Structures are given as C-alpha cells and as structure tokens.
Amino acid sequence: MRHAKKHKQMGRTAAHREATLRNMSISLIQHKRIITTHAKAKVLRPYLEPIITRAKDNTQHSRRIVYSKLKNKEAVKELFGPVVVAIGDRPGGYLRIIRLGYRKGDGAQMSLIEFVDFNETYDLKDGETPGRRRTRRGGGRTRRGRGRGASARKSQEEE
C-alpha cells in the first residue's frame, strides 16, 4: 500500500531522483522548453513551480533558497531575470505540459514541458493569425490514378 507517499519515485533512489529533477529544472530554465517523458514532466512541474514562486520575491534569502535547490548560478540568474519578468503577474501555473506521442524505441509517452509565457504561438493578439496553415495533402488531379505522381510522369514523358 502506498499510504502517505507524496511523490512519484520514478524507479530511482532519492539522490538520483533529486539529481534528475535538478538537471531537468536547469535545462528547462535555460532553454524555456524541453522534451521528456510524460511521467518525468508530471513529476517536474510540482518540483519547479514552488521554486519559480519563490523567485518572484527577489531577495537575498529567496535567491539562496532557490540556489540550494538548483545548484547552478546561471540558472538562478536566468530565473530571477527574464523568467520572472515574463511571469511576474501570474499567480501560478507557470508550466504547460503538451503530449507529443510515443517514442519509437520503447513506446514511452513523450511530452513537451514549457513556460507558459515564452511561447509566441499562444500569445497572438486579437485578429492575428500564426501564418498560413499548410497541409501535406497532394494537389492536382486524383481521378483514375492521375494524382501528382501520374501528372508529373506524364509531363516528363511529353518533354
């Protein structure tokens, strides 16, 4: 029975789990989005969101607490700099998890985890469009085997 077990163990020891979450947090802060398995993304979000909330209070004490969790000076500078400026007025929910599909090798479900305020696609103003929507469908005639391939072959034969 799993009474009073508040976090997922991810099949790792406590030290390995802490190192994994720390490394993923640093990568996410530096790159603003990472692709990982869905299980790791779900564990990373409750680990990192309280750290981001602490970073909104820019004091020496909060910097030391954040540094004790991350152990990376560049990530702490980035977090207290552009990241907090972008998410300063948001009351929570700083991260978004988007499912991507299944990994080819082992079938693990993959997800993209990103900062909500750093994705320009979702930050469009009223009336703006993200660009022309394109499909991968073939054009041209498709009746009786005369699709794009057939018409291209026919035009090459005529030349």
1 falls within a domain: no
User: Number of structural domains, the chain?
Assistant: 1
pLDDT > 70? residue 149: no
CATH at 91: 3.90.1030.10
pLDDT > 70? residue 145: no
69 falls within a domain: yes
Largest Cα–Cα distance of the chain, in whole Å?
Answer: 78
29 falls within a domain: yes
102 falls within a domain: yes
Q: What is the pTM of this model?
A: 0.74
**Structural domain of 112:** 14-118
140 falls within a domain: no
Please state the separation of Cα 127 from the chain's center in Å. 26
5 falls within a domain: no
159 falls within a domain: no
The answer to whether 29 and 49 have CB atoms below 8 angstroms apart is no
- In this prediction, residue 154 has a pLDDT band, given cuts at 50, 70 and 90, of low
* Rounded CA separation 142/92 (Å): 52
* Rounded CA separation 78/55 (Å): 10
